[in-house]
Amino acid sequence: MALQTEADLVYIVDDDMIPGKKMLQILSHVAGTEKYKNSVLGSIGRILPFRQKDFTFPSYRKFRSKEAGLYLPDPAYDITVQKIVRVDFLSSSWFLSAELVKALFIETPFTFMTGEDLHLSYQLQKYRNAGSFVLPVDPTDKETWGDSEHRLAYVSETTVIFKDIVQVRDDQWWRALSAGYVTQWAAMYPQKIDALFYAHSIDEVKALAPLLEKFRSSVGKKAYIVVSGGNFCPCEDAAAALNWAKSVCKERRFKIFDLQIGALSGASNSEVPVLQAVYSSLKGLIKIQNPSVIITVTDIDPIVKKALKMASETNANGTALVLLPRSSVSKVLWMADLRSTALQNWNRMRISVNIITQSRAPSLRRLLKSLSDAYYIGDEIPISFNMDSKVDEATIKVVDSFEWLHGPKTLRRRIIQGGLIRAVSESWYPTSDDDFGLLLEDDIEVSPYYYLWIKYALLAYHYDPQVSLPELSSISLYTPRLVEVVKERPSWNPTEFFNRIHPNTPYLHQLPCSWGAVFFPKHWREFYVYMNMRFTEDAKANPVQIPKSRTNGWQASWKKFLIDMMYLRGYVSLYPNFPNQASFSTNHMEPGAHISAKDNVVRHDKADFEVPLLTKDFRTLLPNGKLPPASKLPSLNLFNQPVSLIGLKAAGAKLGQDVLPCNNATEIVTVDHITGLPRQCSKFI
């Protein structure tokens, strides 16, 4: 009947209610205000249960339980309402816009036996962002009361006194809360969890299970799973797939949320009901749980993916949508070892692959195959090919035919031969402070785990707001076997060197890596300016001469200038450290601009440079199965000697050969990180 009215406002009243004569006037006045026009108003409301100490929610009719919620007002307990109060649902009377009545039928009610009051408030909040409010009354004037003869409610038969009806209503409000109904408890006590998983099918539940279990078994971590329910992914089947008791679907405890999609909206050939149901439910659950990330599989239904993206963007506190290829889920269990504040930055970084190639088509094919075979995690990864003017036909054809599935492909070719120093240094320039460049020459080959190492390290040491490591300028994929800058080039085994700390601890080293490394945007801009200010054709004319360093005589090397800058300013690179120097990249030492070049008097033994590639999950090899805290990372100077980060800066300051004259004991050059230009001398101690 209410749906058929031509009036603007509707007043629906239970048969045991006798409103005072002024009640309609009061309701009409409040409903006419801007603040409450999109609301349902009444005179009796209910606050749903709060969570108990055992993390369960009690029945809303539990006797003598302060967590069971309450009625407002409640004469039996002398509870009165003296101002407009928001409640979870209204009882016995409802005053609202005729347009809002339609919301009652957006989802098929859980039951038609009872609970129309809760269903209306739940649907209004979920689909119309409309609240439910109890109005105050004048205790001395019964004509302002919405129920002037409340004793009728006690003498008349009512649904809430029957045990089976109470159970039905308990199931109903819990289903509403599980599907995103933000109750007053949820609004008063916003949660903060690490991850909310979403699965639209049983196969997706199984695919996500290893990572969900890792989160749930990690100390201090909170993670729950949301399933579509209905015919898509029944809750009981999802529980069985996770080896959980089916009773978790009935417990009033946060663990698994059943959206009941399809069962509530009915069958449809349109994608709109699914989009609407997933979006509106997840929006509410995100508001309640405030997850750092929502995790699902990359190949989830596109409509559901769109709904999840829209829902994640509603959280002002920041919730990142993480889309994982199924094959990578078990490879990123380290996600559970990261702080929530770091996980929120999952999608901020942009890592590009930048390949420098000339005339080694077979080498390039090997590199491209290794890149294609690697594990990725749903990120867009641009790839660029940087070719000098003398590139051969075979290499051009390899580049042209290569299909890259993870992002855009860009080709650059010089008109005039530039040489290796220009080819490398000009192959990438950051577009933002979240743009990171992986530089690879074509005789490099990468491990299937190379991208996971980069992502993990960036999140742990760069994107965790509780970590301060401004000295970190790059992340190496490669572990060296020699002390490169010493004339004798002695062998170096970090596994043995760091055995007392942990044989496989990653470490910080003042030496940049040219055989597979990701460079940081601020430091790369700084390097551009530095190299421009210091470039000389004659290496001996370079004003920077690091004591006892073989790099002083290097000719035409971009790496030499980067070494100089890192030495003078105390910068470091993060290096992996695994048995037998197994790495995320290796150098095949094939003839090129340096190796086997006519003017290069240094002979290179391939066994000193070609290291094995990691072919299994590296996480288990790390100290305690995870990256150590930044404060626990050992640091080495250019000559592989243990020196603190402060000590590295002191050595650079002491040399006193930077582009600005600074105090040789306490200051180093700092730059404008947008332009890379030197700005001032700053104290480091």
Predicted confidence (pLDDT) per residue in 308-348, tens digit:
999 999 988 889 999 999 999 999 999 999 999 999 999 99
Number of domains, the chain: 3
Nearest to 254 by CA among 69, 51, 46, 49: 51
Per the DSSP assignment, residues forming a β-bridge with 437 are 352, 519
Domain assignment of residue 245, given as a range: 190-344
Answer yes or no: do 569 and 618 share one domain: yes
Task: Report how far residue 562's alpha carbon sits from residue 530's, in angstroms, rounded to the nearest whole number.
Answer: 8
Answer yes or no: do 80 and 143 share one domain: yes
Confidence check: pLDDT of 415 > 60: yes
Confidence check: pLDDT of 394 > 70: yes
Q: Other CB atoms closer than 10 Å to residue 29's CB: what's the count?
A: 11
Q: Is residue 71 part of a domain?
A: yes
Q: Is residue 2 part of a domain?
A: no
Confidence check: pLDDT of 565 > 90: yes
Per the DSSP assignment, residues forming a β-bridge with 257 are 226
Domain boundary among 295, 327, 344: 344
Sign of the dihedral through C-alpha 396, 401, 402, 408: positive
3-state secondary structure 153-165: HHHCCCHHHCHHH
> What's the confidence (pLDDT) of residue 625?
95
Cα 302 to Cα 38, 297, 443: the distances in Å are 32, 11, 39
Confidence check: pLDDT of 120 > 80: yes
Task: Report how far residue 70's alpha carbon sits from residue 87's, in angstroms, rounded to the nearest whole number.
Answer: 10
SS3 state at 150 = coil
Confidence check: pLDDT of 76 > 70: no
Confidence check: pLDDT of 265 > 60: no
**Sheet bearing 45-47, strands edge to edge:** 70-72, 45-47, 89-90
Confidence check: pLDDT of 592 > 80: no
> What's the confidence (pLDDT) of residue 281?
93
Cβ-contact 280, 287 below 8 angstroms:
no
Answer yes or no: do 339 and 450 share one domain: no
Answer yes or no: do 519 and 572 share one domain: yes
Q: Is residue 219 part of a domain?
A: yes
CA angle 662, 666, 669 (to 5 degrees): 40
Answer yes or no: do 156 and 194 share one domain: no
If you write DSSP's letter for every residue of 58-127 in order, what string do you get?
--TT-TT-TTS-EEESBGGGTB---S-EEESEE-SEEEEEGGGGGGGGSS--S-SSS-HHHHHHHHHHHH
Nearest to 225 by CA among 213, 526, 384, 341: 213
> What's the confidence (pLDDT) of residue 152?
56
> What's the confidence (pLDDT) of residue 182?
93
SS3 state at 229 = strand
Q: Are strands 678-683 and 667-671 parallel, antiparallel or unpaired?
A: antiparallel
Confidence check: pLDDT of 397 > 90: yes
Higher pLDDT, 557 or 621: 621
> What's the confidence (pLDDT) of residue 167?
83
Question: For the chain, what percent of residues have pLDDT higher than 70?
Answer: 94
Please state which of the ranges 157-161, 284-288, 482-486, 608-612 shows the lowest mean pLDDT: 157-161
> What's the confidence (pLDDT) of residue 520?
98
Higher pLDDT, 606 or 656: 656
Task: Report how far residue 187's alpha carbon sits from residue 191's, in angstroms, rounded to the nearest whole number.
Answer: 9
CATH code for the domain of 301: 3.40.50.2000
Phi, psi of 480, rounded to the nearest 5 degrees: -75, 155
> What's the confidence (pLDDT) of residue 263?
59
**Average pLDDT of the chain to the nearest whole number:** 90
Cα 184 to Cα 59, 133, 162: the distances in Å are 16, 12, 25
Answer yes or no: do 36 and 81 share one domain: yes
Answer yes or no: do 108 and 236 share one domain: no
Domain boundary among 146, 161, 176: 161
> What's the confidence (pLDDT) of residue 162?
66
- Residue carrying the six token digits 């990691």: 614
Answer yes or no: do 543 and 491 share one domain: yes
> What's the confidence (pLDDT) of residue 595?
53
List, for residues 477-517, the tens digit of each pLDDT value.
Answer: 999 999 989 888 899 999 999 999 999 999 999 999 999 99
**Count of CA atoms in the C-beta half-sphere (13 A) of 167:** 5
Q: Is residue 359 part of a domain?
A: no
545 contact partners, CB below 8 Å, separation of at least 6: 552, 657
Answer yes or no: do 532 and 645 share one domain: yes
Answer yes or no: do 155 and 255 share one domain: no
List, for residues 206-228, the tens digit of each pLDDT value.
Answer: 999 999 999 999 999 999 999 99
> What's the confidence (pLDDT) of residue 256?
95
> What's the confidence (pLDDT) of residue 410?
96
Answer yes or no: do 509 and 624 share one domain: yes
Mean pLDDT within 658-670: 94
- Tell which phi-psi region holds residue 594, choosing left (phi > 0), alpha (psi between -120 and 50) or beta: alpha
Nearest to 666 by CA among 683, 645, 648, 641: 683
> What's the confidence (pLDDT) of residue 350?
97
Q: Other CB atoms closer than 10 Å to residue 35's CB: what's the count?
A: 10
Confidence check: pLDDT of 267 > 70: no
Q: Is residue 397 part of a domain?
A: no
Q: Is residue 147 part of a domain?
A: yes
Mean pLDDT within 556-570: 92
Mean pLDDT within 53-71: 81
Q: Is residue 356 part of a domain?
A: no
Q: Is residue 502 part of a domain?
A: yes
> What's the confidence (pLDDT) of residue 264?
56
SS3 state at 383 = strand
Task: Report how far residue 36's alpha carbon sits from residue 550's, in angstroms, rounded to the nearest whole number.
Answer: 76
> What's the confidence (pLDDT) of residue 156?
52
Task: Report how far residue 138's alpha carbon sits from residue 586's, in angstroms, rounded to the nearest whole number.
Answer: 81
Confidence check: pLDDT of 243 > 90: yes
Answer yes or no: pTM beyond 0.85: yes
Domain boundary among 344, 363, 397: 344
Distance of CA 244 to the CA centre of its chain: 27
Residue 112 pLDDT grade (very low, low, confident, very high; cuts 50, 70, 90): confident
Task: Report how far residue 668's alpha carbon sits from residue 652's, in angstroms, rounded to the nearest whole number.
Answer: 7
> What's the confidence (pLDDT) of residue 599?
52
Answer yes or no: do 476 and 575 share one domain: yes
